[in-house]
Structure 1
């Protein structure tokens, strides 16, 4: 509870705090700034993009969306996600609002798992689905930095952990989110607000889902 309060108040510690979730899962707490400004921008995003009016920017997780960062290190990724407001360099998605992009988790190339935000606080990572999706970013780009075996293992263990806490129905790659556009899950209010994505590659996602057999996951639409 103390970590959550510190995160929500924006009093971000510079120290890494490791929390052992089970014998084979360690999540390092590294919260990004979530101050009054980020909270207000998140609530505004939810209202404008999803017609959701709430007092708190909470979500009910039903999906996990897997990404890659196209940023070469965790440290640089943290620097990008940390500010509450979208930087000027991201004008291509500014039409979607001033809230900065982020995700609840980032997995480094060696499989180290970092938690940047509480699982039930909305992060901006997937158009149309943020209101119900936990985001997992991986330090990779699919080219000079392909997804690693350590990341495959870490994603598997993390998603199994999340599925044990929440009624997760779908695990998808960012490259697959378009498959939800004509379903009840899609809440984006602007039909023209959409970007093509290629992360992660489909072979990786197929391998990941094969590792998750036994969970009550539904096939993608």
Structure 2
């Protein structure tokens, strides 16, 4: 635990330049385990998939990816992300590396915002773009658990806050990530590593984008 806290503090100091920008809403700090194993696996992933070699698994955020979990509760989502290594059940993506999936933020169904990782530490949540993308997961599945109005409000507040801290050019749903293939932003080295996603639904993303027009975001590549 002591080693983990030292590691987390070191990561926090790397974002000191933006720490003077504070949210005017609550963000509950609920850090997942980021021990030496997870750090090493993240660095390995960055090198293998993006050709990025560096001493710390830091990113420079320029985009935000919005997801839904298909996991019914925050507690189960936290437990799914907490391990450093990918569980056996994720066999479809295990060939791309042992690093577990995660995201920097999770928004519960009542709009409660949890921060699981520092914003400038890489999380595995979107193929080809993790090196520059902050991930926001929402407790929803688009079926029995549709996205809620409270989640729409929370995503809006969180994204506007992050856009004040970082030069965010793009906000997109996980289902839209392949728009970046063929652009300079796409760094995935394995052409066969792709997944088809449907989250969040187009209606939710339309509502979210209508609330973010003041950010002057770039349109998605064709």
Q: TM-score, normalised by structure 1?
A: 0.91
Q: Secondary structure of the residue that 1:75 maps to in structure 2?
A: helix
Aligned pair in 2 of structure 1 residues 9, 213: CA closer, same or farther (>3 Å)? closer
Match of 2:72 in 1: 72
Match of 1:115 in 2: 115
Aligned pair in 2 of structure 1 residues 167, 9: CA closer, same or farther (>3 Å)? closer
Distance 1:183 1:22 in 2: 32
Distance 1:7 1:159 in 2: 28
Match of 1:55 in 2: 55
Match of 2:5 in 1: 6
Distance 2:62 2:92 in 1: 28
1:1-221 aligned at under 5 Å gives the runs 6=5, 8=7, 21-23=22-24, 25-221=25-221
Structure 2: tracts of 5 or more residues without a match: 10-21
* Residue-by-residue CA offset, 1:86-108 (whole Å, 9 max, x unaligned): 01111110111000000000000
Size of the aligned set, in residue pairs, is: 207
Q: Secondary structure of the residue that 1:172 maps to in structure 2?
A: strand
**CA RMSD, Structure 1 to Structure 2 (Å):** 1.5
1:54 shift after superposition = 0.6
Distance 1:63 1:44 in 2: 22
Distance 2:133 2:206 in 1: 19
Distance 2:59 2:8 in 1: 18
1:8 shift after superposition = 2.9
Aligned pair in 2 of structure 1 residues 82, 45: CA closer, same or farther (>3 Å)? same
Q: Secondary structure of the residue that 1:214 maps to in structure 2?
A: helix
